[in-house]
Amino acid sequence: MIRPLRTALMVAIVALPLTACGGRGNKSVANADLAASKVTTIGVNAYLWRASLDTLSFMPLLQTDSNGGVIVTDWYVNPQIPTERMKVTVSILDQDLRADALRVAALREVNRGGQWITAPVQAATTQKLEDIILTKARDLRRASITG
């Protein structure tokens, strides 16, 4: 589901032992360290990233970019409302855990006569998603500090 993240993690695991090879002052060791750090760090706040993925885990993911901080879901049809579908885009804009570092956008369509037609999304829907993500991110941060 999250192939780019899994691939980056595998590359980091393979590259990490290579950093221990060679002597001091060896430029290849320094380059390997740099490569490993680039692979294992993301460009946005890790708590917001993890919380966003957790919050949207029930929806199929279309695109994830941890460096750019963008998560795009595919259309999701709630089994209890089969005539309606949603698509969500989460943008994480900063490395700090702040409310203004998160932006959620949603698209909604309703099925009328077998055809999907664009419908308005209530502003409360995206606000609620942002609140859920921010709360989860703060909980993750708190748990990492205390535990």
Phi, psi of 131 (to 5 degrees): -65, -45
* 102 within 8 A of 91, measured Cβ to Cβ: yes
Does the pLDDT at position 12 exceed 70? no
Does the pLDDT at position 15 exceed 60? no
Predicted confidence (pLDDT) per residue in 90-136, tens digit: 999 999 999 999 999 999 999 999 999 999 999 999 999 999 999 99
Q: Which residues contact 119 (CB under 8 A, 6 or more apart)?
A: 84, 108, 109, 110
**Longest pairwise C-alpha distance within the chain:** 70
The pLDDT score that the predictor gives to residue 36 is 34
Q: Tokens in use for 3?
A: 């192939």
Write down the pTM of the prediction: 0.70
The pLDDT score that the predictor gives to residue 39 is 37
